[in-house]
Amino acid sequence: MTAAKSASHMPYVGIASFLKAPVCADLDYLDADVGVIGIPFDEGTMNRPGTRFGPRALREQSSLYEQYLPGEGYYDIELRQTILRGVNIVDCGDVPIQPLALEANHNRMTQSIKTMLSRGALPISVGGDHSITYPVVQAFSDIGEIGIIQIDTHADVFTFYESDLTHGSPMINVARNCPNVTKFVQIGMRGLMLGEKDYSDSIARGNVIITSDEVRSIGVDWVLDQIPEMPYYLTFDIDSMDPSIAPGAGTPEPGGLLYHQARDLLRGVAKKGPIVGFDLVEVNPLYDPTGTTALLATRLVVDFLGAIFHER
């Protein structure tokens, strides 16, 4: 346990770890229900760089949600329920990143998550850009068949560049190279960047694609009805949220989700099957002058963790 916990509870006091949780210096000795690890990698970005600062931004903003005692949880006044009581969360620091060392970086990402899994912790990855999801999902290759639920603006199935490992490609890479991932559910799709053929091909393969308009006009309950029950990995791209509340995204797009929609989606997803891990990516503090994006991301992580452990 670092100095942070033995000091004060004011958000601005102490070294900033995620939720001011204890910091784990060596993953081989991790002892926690939940491990949160930063992946400050943004070399896959096709537009605005800066998501490398995402993990630190979430640490800073999450100071607001410090728990007074480890595992005391939070009383959610809107749920009228206490969440995360007895759940032990640990900040696992960051995956080491070296510029222009793609393969080594990817290997470290995969290996870090594998170690967290081997220690029995639920692994939460904080990006960084969306390209990290591919090496992260590779860490789950030994846990049997899973689906992926992707809350995102973009389908991230581009493959036509000189590099196919950018933040526009993680989903097609997973689809091609992770045989234990057998289902894709994409929620919040919008914008002008998905190719028409990419769309029809995906539908033909049995995937579920739900647009942002459909979430708003038909409703979250209907969306949840489209999702079959099975174990899931969830990947949350913060650009799925409306730019009004999440300006600090790598590739913002008008017309996104509102907080209560995203929260209700996450709560519903937690009921669909065990969640084996999740990531939250694309928070870009260089475009987030008031910190609202990182605060929102933190809150969504807490909400989803609350729902996951409520279902356990």
> Residues 175, 179, 181, 183: what is their CA dihedral angle, to the nearest 10 degrees?
70
Subset of residues 32 to 51 that bind its own copies, contact rule: CB under 8 A? 40, 42-50
Contact call for residue 196 and its own copies (CB under 8 A):
yes
Select from 36, 58, 60, 140 the one that contacts its own copies (CB under 8 A): 60
Residue 66 CA, chain-centre distance (Å), reads 20
The β-bridge relationship of strands 146-151 and 74-76 is unpaired
Across the strands, what pairs with 124? 36, 278
Contact call for residue 15 and its own copies (CB under 8 A):
yes
Separation between Cα atoms, residue 166 and residue 158, nearest integer Å: 9
Subset of residues 142 to 181 that bind its own copies, contact rule: CB under 8 A? 155, 161-163, 165-166
Q: For residues 219 and 261, is the Cβ–Cβ distance under 8 A?
A: no
Interface segment toward its own copies; rule CB under 8 A; list 142-150, 221-229, 274-282, 294-302? 294-302
With respect to its own copies, which residue has the nearer C-beta, 99 or 144? 99
Q: For residues 156 and 193, is the Cβ–Cβ distance under 8 A?
A: no
Separation between Cα atoms, residue 272 and residue 270, nearest integer Å: 6
Q: Nearest approach, Cβ of 23 to its own copies (angstroms)?
A: 5
Contact call for residue 124 and its own copies (CB under 8 A):
no
Q: How is residue 169 annotated by DSSP?
A: -
Q: Nearest approach, Cβ of 21 to its own copies (angstroms)?
A: 11
Q: Nearest approach, Cβ of 232 to its own copies (angstroms)?
A: 22
Subset of residues 94 to 113 that bind its own copies, contact rule: CB under 8 A? 94-102, 104
Contact call for residue 211 and its own copies (CB under 8 A):
yes
With respect to its own copies, which residue has the nearer C-beta, 65 or 230? 65
Across the strands, what pairs with 82? 75
Interface segment toward its own copies; rule CB under 8 A; list 113-121, 231-239, 258-266, 267-275? 258-266
Q: Nearest approach, Cβ of 75 to its own copies (angstroms)?
A: 4
Q: For residues 286 and 56, is the Cβ–Cβ distance under 8 A?
A: no
